[in-house]
Amino acid sequence: TGLCSILNGAVPGEPVKTDKNSRRGNWGNQIEFILTSVGYAVGLGNVWRFPYLCYRNGGGAFMFPYFIMLVFCGIPLFFLELSFGQFASQGCLGVWRISPMFKGVGYGMMVVSTYIGIYYNVVICIAFYYFFSSMTNLLPWTYCNNPWNTPTCNGVVTPTGINNTLANVTRSLVTGAAEVAVEVVNKTKRTSPSEEYWKHYVLKISDDIGNFGEVRLPILGCLAVSWVVVFLCLIRGVKSSGKVVYFTATFPYVVLTILFIRGITLEGAVTGIKYYLTPQWHKILDAKVWGDAASQIFYSLGCAWGGLITMASYNKFHNNCYRDSIIISITNCATSVYAGFVIFSILGFMAHHLNVDVSEVADHGPGLAFVAYPEALTLLPISPLWSLLFFFMLILLGLGTQFCLLETLVTAIVDEIGTDWIIRNKTVVTGGVAIVGFLLGVPLTTQAGIYWLLLMDNYAASFSLVIISCIMCICIMYVYGHKKYFKDVEMMLGFPPPIFFRVCWRFVSPIIISFILIFTVIQYKPITYNDYVYPGWSLAIGFLMAMSSVTCIPIYALYKISKSEGTTFLERLKNSCKADIKWGPALSEHRIGHYAAPSSEGEVEVRPLKEELKEKEDEKRDEISLTIQGSNGSTAHNTTPSA
């Protein structure tokens, strides 16, 4: 018994309670899990989407619906997914033992994570490209005197000498003679050197989504680098990624702080921050503002991707995931607000320098990360240093999310197959998934790659995530049963979920999720990229990508119903919804209460191990006890002939 206690990590003299899954693995400590989850939730969207949404939807007034949605939707859903994965110690497929008919939800999560993982690493590889390009005395997108520049290029930095003459010639071509025309051209026709560097040099963008052109070899090389980095960081699963996140999850905050201090010291920074935060209270009555707030909370926290379930599955069974969900959710939203100060202090400086309104230099998505912000960096002293810091921060933010996306897929595959060989050779699975991800990302490195990247970003992880999350809530609360699930959480945490979360899980969150879905459909507009309008056939492909994850749910449900026992459809439906015999805690010492009932068939597998570990010194009494239990099971409890 003493030896068993030592092996299980328990203190001698205390009851044996191993909270360690030696076969599957656990986080090294709780800080690793929190940092990984923060890195997963805090991504590129916090930097390039939230600030834009904030100023577009009423500035400081947007914060009110944003935090309302955080409290009533974000944190409850985050807690639900963490508790779901932690209780079963399974990835996004294995957890659906709770109701096998809904396993298609898990496959849908895998499909979504696959799509996001493919294009997300392409964004990271472009950040790598800009990072390497910044290792120079002069940023290549500073002036308009490069071979890739056009006559409409007009830089914000005035060059000297020959370059000045060239810039003057270029400017004269753009502006014309009249002073009024000069101002109009500068505001409406001006093409910045950073935009031309992005379009004509980095991407060599084609004129149509169907015109792939050539593979951009520098970007392809950076894509290979980014996949190798992700693979090496996950080579030992959570054991290695848990160590890497100490750096990747914390250093972006160091860079943000450095850029913030530099930003607020610039002339015009206060104007930018005012533009970002000034409340427009009348917009609170606009349903679109509330829709944007709910959508941003939902998408930025990474709900329904499968990543939260996967990360929580490596927690120890009695970990306080309730506390973790609050810490991580608030950290994510606070980071978004903080990033807004950083971005708009720099954009305010740029607007002041150009003598235009902040709205004319503000952008979101790739336009902010690879056009507007790089142009602002050219105005700063020692601009290559600030550029290196900014793109290094983007790389780390992207990698934190990418780690979890890849681990979600690998964990689902390993848990589903579940053999000793595949568990021992998880590294091979990780390498295989990384290679496939790299190959699928190659089309996005072509001259039409940016069109496909934005198509995947807008459709692959849009309304499908909302549907998946809504069905997950319905399954757990109404098919499995809210009372059962509340007892499961109480067994795991030692206390039941607070009544606020119970109400949100059952009523409030599903209603808000449904609102997000309706809002997404009503506000739908065909995707465009600058002046380029996507053709109908490409939009059809986008909808197919979106539906491919959702259709997994009914297809698998019909398959499971057809394979279930029963003579009628209703009997098969009922049996396919029942929790699997293997549903419950992964370790035998945690399978107490109804999970350890003698009449359960699963007891044959878990009971002897439990008795051997806990009661080995009294084997004789144990055997008698088991004999009596078996007798009771066959005479008193069993009513079916098969028993």
Which amino acids are annotated as binding site for Na(+), given as ranges? 39, 41-42, 46, 300, 332, 397
Query: CA separation (Å) from 581 to 25, 416, 605?
Result: 23, 16, 11
User: Which residue positions form the known binding site?
Assistant: 39, 41-42, 46, 300, 332, 397
Structure-block tokens of residue 175: 């502006």
| Contact criterion met (CB below 8 Å) for 24 and 586 | yes
**What is the DSSP secondary-structure string of 360-414?**
GT---THHIIIIIHHHHHTTSTTHHHHHHHHHHHHHHHHHHHHHHHHHHHHHHHH
Rounded-to-integer distance, Cα 316 and Cα 154, Å: 58
Nearest to 398 by CA among 52, 112, 53, 126: 126
Residue pair 470/514 in contact (Cβ under 8 Å)? The answer is yes
- How far, in Å, CA of 123 to CA of 223, rounded? 9
In single-letter form, the type of residue at position 567 comes to: T
**What residues contact residue 147 under an 8 Å CB cut-off, 6+ apart?**
none
Please state, in angstroms and rounded to a whole number, the distance separating the CA atoms of residues 41 and 78: 10
Taking residue 38's Cβ as centre, other Cβ atoms within 10 Å add up to 22
* Whole-angstrom distance, CA of residue 154 vs CA of residue 593: 73
CB 378 within 8 A of CB 405: no
Query: What token pair was written down for 356?
Result: 């235009």
